[in-house]
Amino acid sequence: MHELTVARRLVDRAVATARDHDADRIDALTVRIGAATHVVPDQIAFCIETIAEGTPAEDATVRFERVPARGECACGWAGELDTLADTVAGAPDRRCPECGGGVTLTAGTECGLTRIETPDPRDTHP
Distance of CA 32 to the CA centre of its chain: 3
Length of the chain: 126
| 12 sits in which H/E element | helix 2-20
111 is in an annotated binding site: no
47 is in an annotated binding site: no
96 is in an annotated binding site: yes
Give which of 115, 88, 91, 87 is closest to 105, Cα–Cα. 91
Annotated binding site for Ni(2+): 2
Annotated binding residues, as ranges? Answer: 2, 73, 75, 96, 99
**Residues in binding site for Zn(2+):** 73, 75, 96, 99
